[in-house]
Structure formats: structure tokens, C-alpha cells
Structure 1
């Protein structure tokens, strides 16, 4: 599972996520801090030299030589240590990103399948790729550089306090004034960034949808309308960023102009104190030179304000995945003798408010052919997906072979059920590899036998590369009927004892319908079968037909029983016959 969800600050949460790399990151921070101290040496050496040159008794040449050497060593050390710190922090950062992505990808299969399917693929890609990537800057630069950029000015300030408290305070006056302008921008930064993530997610989803639906768009000549929707999201994204930057520009510019003007206070006031005799010449010179090293690093650290504000939104998006509720099932496999399916007072809601299923109870005996029929949105697909383990039931219970689904480990449950949906997804791989997904250990002969039984063999033989033909992304090189038959071949190869067909003949043209029906007949022989059907003629020989309306079983029985006993089923059958006659007469 994910981390416990007590509300921690984003930076602390990121530090938790980077737990495996703490040693490297601490080392990087320490090296950067030592590098900063070394970087102060050239300033100190320059101040000493100028003081010596202005004093009445000039120092010996070797004095200047030693100071020059000290400045060079300090500068060289700073560069070497800084480079080492960044090398370490970058290695740590990429290891952390790898770990976070691995954990998200390990988490995805443990989430309810339905939850994953409901997510727009564009927003998922944005979190796993783009948002996780945006953490790199924070991890690799923020911790070592922010430490260095704040630790350095702090050391200089402490040294100036020792030299002269008045001058130390003077050297800071312009910085808070500049910071006030920066603070104006930061007031609503997190909220603004969250809005930016949302508009980018919407744009990504629109891009994926536009590209995925290009065939439909062209076929229905909806190019202009669909392109308008797509470009509207792109424009909305651009205009959001433009307005946000416009809002930030003036205060950020003022902050960056005002903060470094340290000498505005140090020079005139220091001169007056020197004239007064209360400030020695060497302290005055050291203050001038060292105070120049305060504002630069602090301003550099302001570049991380952006990264700091983003961390919250990014960590939240990652945590949404890592702490999402997993399906909790038994770990140990259980012997299951039969495949009776019992739904016992099952209610189910996707959003926790509106029930899709209301107190459904039904019994499906092992080895029987059953059908779920009903209007679109009646809950029949949801019930089938619950039986297949896409979600866990919160209210009521589903049992297979007398065992509560939660007592059956998910891998065992998935092995027991073959689910053939109307939207068949094929991977951009060969036909052989796509069928073999049903059982990875299957031999070529077994794959070809499944293809033969499911009516695929004829069209596969006609393809240039036969079984080694690559099907394209999502199976785009094949027709709907061909994809459907490959899905049935895959299910045959899996040879699971329970088969659920969700509108499996939905896309089939009349010529292919007979082939598919034969394939389905082969697939379901001797199995416990649930068919979700719109075409009632395909399920007239079912042992039990369950009529589902408004999330409940309103009637059940054989086709003949329902025709005589259920007016709702009768009117559905008559509408189906009229539609069929219409097709045949057309």
C-alpha cells in the first residue's frame, strides 16, 4: 500500500518518498555547504588585500601571494565540491524518480480495474511522466542548492555581526523590501499552480481523445467541430499561463531589482560612521565586499520558489495513486470445487452517492448459460464486472464456489474468469503474441488451434505475414469483427471455467455473425457463462435470462417463461423482432 495519509508538508512528504536516497542527498547537502564556506574565502582575501593596500605601512609581497593562493584554493574548492554535490544529488534524483514511477506502476494492477479504466489516459500519462519528471529539479537542485544559497549568506551575516553589528544589519535592509514584492506573487501561487495542472490535464486528455478518435472524426466529417474542441483546450492552457505570468511579472521584477541594492545603505552610512571614527577602515572595506556576497545567493534561491510551490501539487498527484484504496483479497490460493456464482444482496455505487445496483440477489449454477438483459444503464455490465473482480463489493457479497470473492486472491480470480468485452484492446504486437496473452506458456500449435476454433484462421492466412502480422496500436490494422475473434481466441486459450461475454457480438456484420456465434459456442462449451446481450435472438437458448432494470433483477427465467410472464421482456422481444425484420427487409 501507500504511505499512511497523515497530512505532512509537501517537502517532508517528498523527503519520505526519497527515503532510499537519503545518504546521497545528505552527502550532497554537506558538500554544497562546505563549498559555500570555501566560496567566501576569495571575498575575505580581497577585503584583506584592499585594506593592506590602503594602510600606511604596505605589507610584504608574500602576504599578498598567500592571500591570492587562499582565494584561488577557496574558489577551486567551491567549484569542485559544488560539482560533486550536484553529481550526487542528480544520481539520487533520477533513482527517486525511477522508484516513484515503479511504485505507481506496481500500484496500478492492485487498484480496482474499474478505477483504472475510468481515468483519462491523458491525465494518467501527465502524472506518471510529466509531473513525476518535474520533481527532478526539486530533488537534484533544491536541497543542495537551497542549502548552499541560504547557508552562505547566513555565514557572511554572522561574520559581519562579529565585525560590526550595525553594518551587518545595514547590509540586510534592501533584501526584506525586495522580498515583500516577491511575497505578493507567492500569496496564491499554490492555487494558481493547481489550476495550471488542471488545464494541462484537460489539454492532454483532449489531445489523446482527438488523436484516438481521428477515424470517427473524419468519417463523420466532424473535423472542424472536434478540432475546435481540441484547440480550445490548447488555447485555454496557453491563456492560463499567459495571464498568470502577467500577474507575476511586475512584483517579481521589482523584487529582483530592489533586493541586490545592498550598497545603497552600506556605502553612505558606512562612510559617515568611518568619518565619525566609530568604524575602522578595514571593517568598512570588509563589510562592502562581503555584503556583496549576501544578495546574490539569496536571489538564486528565489528561483526555487517556483519548484517549492509545485512540489505540493505534484506530491498530491503522486500520493493520489500511491495511497488509493487497493483491492484487499486473500493472499493464499484456495481450492474452489465448483463455479456456482451467487450474488447476495449486492448494492454498488461508483461515486459513493448514487447506486447503480440496488440489493441484487441471484444464483448462477455451475456449467449453465445465463444472460443479463435490460436497458442501457440498467447495471448489467456493472454486475458482470463485479463478478469478474473489477471492483470489490462494499455492500452485500458475491461468492464463487461458495467462497466470498475477497477470500480469493486476485490472480486466482482473474485466472478463473475470461472477460470478453465489446471494446477489445489489442497490443501493437503480432497476432500470435496477442492471442498468447490468454496463456503465456501456450505453444504455437495451441495458439493456432485457438485461432482455428474462434474463426480467425481464414483471415489470418490471408494476411501477408500470417500470425506474425503486427496489428497496429489498439489493433487498428484489423476490422472490429477480426479484433473480436482474436479476443475470443485469447479467451479460448485461457480456458477459464467462467466466461463473461459483454456485448461480444456487438460489432459483428451479418456475414461474420455466424462465424462468431460458432466461435462463442466453442468457447463456452462446458463453462459457466454469462452473456450480456442487446440482441435477444442470440440468447434464446440460455438456461436463465435475468432481466435487470434500475439495478435490480426484475424478472428471471427461460426465454419462453419470460415471454409469457414478463410484459417488459415481451415488449423488448417485440422491439427486437421489429428491428430484425427491418434489417432483413432493408
Structure 2
């Protein structure tokens, strides 16, 4: 468990974890040894001079005080280590997720990652703060007490020692029997989370279909499966808990019988037997708590295994000796890219000189957006190379590559914050005047003036409080503020009304000025402003040339153009 925890977190966290484990183990041993001072106390109390017990009682009080200090330091160390690990885990998970290929993400993983980043990380990292100390005390303190009993009477010590392998065997058996139900419950939890997200996202469709009152069957079925899996998990835990209780009670009963036999035979005094039984009773509570602690540790281990699986997912490799491009022309050299078994891009070769504009058109599913994503290295190609300034994007440091590219998507996502905060994502250290200038160029200042809060107006989660056109203006202002030499545009005006489309086009024109541009467009009027046009079909270049040349040829592009210009 600890090894997996350190593997998930990294070697830099090993020292505080080991220090915490050592301190907690020392505290557990100190607690067990402190009970050894009860051995002379009871015989003295039952003897002819009870006052002889005072020195031992004082020593016992001092030992308890030392234990209390150690326990405080151990718990404090556990909480501090847990907080540090939680902080480090969130940073490591977030950094890793940001470097995973976009192809790794799908609808199912949205639910998995949301559960993992909230409940999973807290549960896994809570091991150090909340579970490690109880587990160590439940294991180490009883063993220390058994060692003390062995020192007092070897027969009763050996009888008490029988509990160790019995308890360990029951815990292993319970863990194995519950492994399947625990995994099933976790699987059902993740499925249900995905269904909840789907239900929320599908509200417009459900309401449009008049199903605002009707329950969502897929979500109901998923929640019922969670209920059934939870019931099976609880039932599978009962045999282990009952077995552990019976084992502890059986060992204690055996000690009682053996102690009575030895006392009646004169081998040991009644006071010593009573002392040993008191010590044995002190072992019972921590041993019985192992059933609950074991279940929580198994849950935490499952979450750790999921975190480990995510962190082991391969990221896009970084070049050992990155090269910085000196220019900003673009080139596709015999590029092929597959998504699963499907070839999305097949043997594409084209170039975009620095400062020129390339328009990519074609039917839906032709691979147009994928071309843009390959330039930004959202994926790595399966064959050929994508180059920026003559340098393969795989040889460019990711931060350097991203600093050279401004990407404006069709579907704009804004973070839940103010308009200004969302614009400043393009360049956080920009001066206020630069932010205002970018907003003016993107025609965003019109939006800011209309909103009650102005620049401090909140856009809502995902930009829900703004219209589609207003979100696009924020996105363009963000790209203008970034001032990157390469601009990638992905159908940015395909879903806008005429007023917003005119405003966005004006902003786009300012954004494209003097930059290397690759634009994907469905509205063919946008294509006329390009220096060259590529018609993509089924992942391959069907036609290439200027707008006028392609119209004169009367091929696929001309058909697209005339169809888009047709009235109605």
C-alpha cells in the first residue's frame, strides 16, 4: 500500500511518509510497553501493602504522558504529510491530464476523472492522515502487549500469540472475498456518475421532447445497479467482520480458561492472571477495528490503483534536446493519422508559407479539424511529419509550440470568472491597455458596455451567461492578446447570427493580419480571403489551388461553392 502510494506520488514524498510511519510505529510500541507497568500494580494492590503500588502507578502515569506526546506528534505528522500529499497529488494529476493526448478523453472518462479528482484523490491521500495511525496501532500495539505477556508467562503468551495468524488469515480471506464486489461497486459508481453528467447535458433534448417530468430510464437503471452493488458489498463484508469478532472472543476465552487452569495448579498467581486478562482485553478493541479499517484501506487502495493507471498512461513524449523554430511557415510531409482502426488523415502533403492563409474545406468527417489539431500537436502523427518553421513539432518544446499558436474553436469554453479574467488567459501578464486594445479589436468592448458589471461581469460556467457570438468575441480577444504568429481557426462563424457574424469577422480579420493562418470553414465566403484552398475528402487532398483557380476547374470545390451560394 505504502509502496503504491509513493509510486503514485513520486520519490520526493518518500521521506515524510517514512518519517510518519516510523513515528507512528514508535508510538504504538510505547503504548504497548506502557501497559507492562500494570503488571506490578495489580499484585501490589491485592497484596498486604497496597501502598507499594504508588511508585508503579506514577511510572504508569508518566509512561502514558510520554505516549500522549508521541501520539500528538504522530497524528500531527500524519495530517501534515496527508495535506502535503494531497496538494502534490492534485498538481501531479492535473499536470499529467494536461499532457495526455486528446484522443485519450472520451465520454466515459469524463465521469471517471471527475470522481477520481474529487472522491478518489481525497480517499487515497486520506490514508496517511486518517487510516495509517489506526492501522499501525491495531497491528503493532497488540503485538507489543503479547510480547509483554510472553515475558510474564510463556504459556499464556503463546496462547495469546495464536491470535496473530488467525486474525491475519481472516483479514486476507475477507479482502479476497470482497475484492470482486468492491471492484463492481466502483465500476457502478463510475457508470452512474457518467449517467448523471449525461442527464444534465441532455436537459435541452429531454425538455424539447416533452420529458421534463418523466424519469430518465438510463440514469434510474444505473442508480439501481449502484444500490444492488452496495448491498452485495455490505453482505460480503459480514463474514469477515463476524469471523474476526468470533476469533478474538475465542482467543480471550482460551486465555481465561488457561489462566484459571494455571492458577489452580499453582503455576501462576491470581493477580498475574487478572493482569494478563486486562492486557488481553486491551488488545481486543484495536483487533476488532481491523475489519472497518481493512475495508477503508481496500477502498483507498482501489482508488490508488486507478490513479496509478491514469498516471501510467503515456503522454506525448518531449524531445530530449528541443529545437526552437526561427520562422512560422507550416508543412505537412506525407502525414498519416489513424484514430483506432479508422484512417482520419492519409498521406497529406501541403505547405503554408509564413504570413499566408490556407483554407481547408470539405464534407463533414473529412479530417479538417484533425489537421489543425496535428499542427498544435494535440496528437502525434502515425506517419510523416508536421513542421513549424522547418522543425518537426515533436522536436519543439510543448510550451514553445503553444506560445506560437493561437487557436480559436467553433465551440468556445469560458472559465467561470469575469470577462477580463477569460481574456487574460491569452497573456496573463498583459497591461490593462493591451487587454482593452484586444477587446476593441475583437468588438468585445460593445459587449462589455452592455453588461451590468462591465469587465467584472461573470460569464458563468462554460460562458453560459453569454451568447454564442459574445463567447466568440471573448475567444478572439484572447487570441489577439496572445499575439501568436500562427493562427488556427476552426469554423468560428458557422453557428452565428448575421450581426454577430459580422462583428466576429471583423475581429478575425484583425487577428489574421500578418500571421500564418490555417482556417477550417463551412461558410464559403470566408474562404475567399485565403491565399490557397485545400479541398479535403476522406482524409486526402482532392483539390488544391486558389479560390478562382478551383472555381474555373469546376470540380468538387466548385460544386461546394455553388451549393453554398444557392438561395434558401
Task: Normalising by structure 1, report the TM-score.
Answer: 0.85
How far the C-alpha of 1:480 sits from its partner, in A, is 0.5
Render the CA deviation track for 1:33-67: whole Å, top value 9, x for unaligned. 343234423542454346xx2xxxx4323312233
Q: Which residue of 2 aligns with 1:4?
A: none
How many angstroms apart in 2 are the aligned matches of 1:435 and 1:409? 25
Contact 2:177–2:236 (Cα < 8 Å) also in 1? no
1:556 paired with 2:550, answer no
Render the CA deviation track for 1:492-517: whole Å, top value 9, x for unaligned. 22222221111101220133323322
Q: Would the alpha carbon gap of residues 24 and 176 (structure 1) be closer, same or farther in structure 2, given more than 3 Å must change?
A: closer
Alignment of 1:538-557 (within 5 A): 538-557=526-545
How many angstroms apart in 1 are the aligned matches of 2:554 and 2:232? 61
How many angstroms apart in 2 are the aligned matches of 1:343 and 1:226? 50
How far the C-alpha of 1:387 sits from its partner, in A, is 0.3
How many angstroms apart in 2 are the aligned matches of 1:23 and 1:182? 24
Q: Which residue of 1 aligns with 2:4?
A: 10
Helix, strand or coil at the partner of 2:428: coil
Contact 1:536–1:573 (Cα < 8 Å) also in 2? yes
Contact 2:438–2:480 (Cα < 8 Å) also in 1? yes
1:434 paired with 2:422, answer yes
How many angstroms apart in 1 are the aligned matches of 2:75 and 2:453? 51
How many angstroms apart in 2 are the aligned matches of 1:333 and 1:281? 80
Q: Which residue of 1 aligns with 2:483?
A: 495
How many angstroms apart in 1 are the aligned matches of 2:470 and 2:229? 45
How far the C-alpha of 1:165 sits from its partner, in A, is 3.8
How many angstroms apart in 2 are the aligned matches of 1:183 and 1:329? 43
Alignment of 1:118-267 (within 5 A): 120-172=109-161, 182-212=171-201, 214-215=203-204, 217-219=206-208, 221-224=210-213, 227-267=216-256
1:307 paired with 2:296, answer yes
How many angstroms apart in 2 are the aligned matches of 1:178 and 1:410? 53
1:458 paired with 2:446, answer yes
Q: Would the alpha carbon gap of residues 179 and 47 (structure 1) be closer, same or farther in structure 2, given more than 3 Å must change?
A: farther
How many angstroms apart in 1 are the aligned matches of 2:321 and 2:504? 37
How many angstroms apart in 2 are the aligned matches of 1:137 and 1:437? 33
How many angstroms apart in 2 are the aligned matches of 1:537 and 1:387? 24
How many angstroms apart in 2 are the aligned matches of 1:61 and 1:561? 113
How many angstroms apart in 1 are the aligned matches of 2:170 and 2:554? 74
Render the CA deviation track for 1:130-169: whole Å, top value 9, x for unaligned. 2121134421244433333222222232333344443333
Q: Would the alpha carbon gap of residues 15 and 282 (structure 1) be closer, same or farther in structure 2, given more than 3 Å must change?
A: farther
1:514 paired with 2:508, answer no
RMSD (Å) for aligned C-alpha atoms? 3.3
Helix, strand or coil at the partner of 2:92: helix
Contact 1:450–1:489 (Cα < 8 Å) also in 2? yes
Q: Would the alpha carbon gap of residues 114 and 343 (structure 1) be closer, same or farther in structure 2, given more than 3 Å must change?
A: same
Greater Cα shift, 130-139 or 289-298: 289-298
Contact 2:333–2:386 (Cα < 8 Å) also in 1? yes
1:341 paired with 2:330, answer yes
Q: Would the alpha carbon gap of residues 179 and 88 (structure 1) be closer, same or farther in structure 2, given more than 3 Å must change?
A: closer
Q: Which residue of 1 aligns with 2:72?
A: 83
| Count of aligned residue pairs for this structure pair | 567
Q: Which residue of 1 aligns with 2:279?
A: 290
How many angstroms apart in 2 are the aligned matches of 1:267 and 1:343? 83
How many angstroms apart in 1 are the aligned matches of 2:83 and 2:238? 32
Q: Would the alpha carbon gap of residues 228 and 97 (structure 1) be closer, same or farther in structure 2, given more than 3 Å must change?
A: same
Q: Would the alpha carbon gap of residues 445 and 296 (structure 1) be closer, same or farther in structure 2, given more than 3 Å must change?
A: closer
How far the C-alpha of 1:205 sits from its partner, in A, is 3.4
Helix, strand or coil at the partner of 2:488: strand
How far the C-alpha of 1:421 sits from its partner, in A, is 0.3
Greater Cα shift, 541-550 or 476-485: 541-550
How many angstroms apart in 2 are the aligned matches of 1:295 and 1:494? 65
Q: Would the alpha carbon gap of residues 360 and 256 (structure 1) be closer, same or farther in structure 2, given more than 3 Å must change?
A: farther
Contact 2:326–2:389 (Cα < 8 Å) also in 1? yes
Contact 2:405–2:486 (Cα < 8 Å) also in 1? yes
Render the CA deviation track for 1:473-526: whole Å, top value 9, x for unaligned. 221111101111221222222222221111101220133323322332222122
How many angstroms apart in 1 are the aligned matches of 2:180 and 2:215? 30
Q: Would the alpha carbon gap of residues 442 and 9 (structure 1) be closer, same or farther in structure 2, given more than 3 Å must change?
A: closer
How many angstroms apart in 1 are the aligned matches of 2:222 and 2:506? 46
How many angstroms apart in 2 are the aligned matches of 1:182 and 1:433? 53
Q: Would the alpha carbon gap of residues 459 and 86 (structure 1) be closer, same or farther in structure 2, given more than 3 Å must change?
A: closer
Greater Cα shift, 273-282 or 144-153: 273-282
Q: 1:32 aligns with which of 1, 20, 27?
A: 27
Helix, strand or coil at the partner of 1:359: strand
Q: Which runs of 5+ in 2 are unaligned?
A: none
Helix, strand or coil at the partner of 1:555: strand
Task: Normalising by structure 2, report the TM-score.
Answer: 0.88
How many angstroms apart in 1 are the aligned matches of 2:400 and 2:254? 75
Q: 2:16 aligns with which of 8, 18, 21?
A: 21
How many angstroms apart in 1 are the aligned matches of 2:323 and 2:437? 31
Render the CA deviation track for 1:282-313: whole Å, top value 9, x for unaligned. 55444433332333322233432123323432
Q: Would the alpha carbon gap of residues 546 and 222 (structure 1) be closer, same or farther in structure 2, given more than 3 Å must change?
A: farther
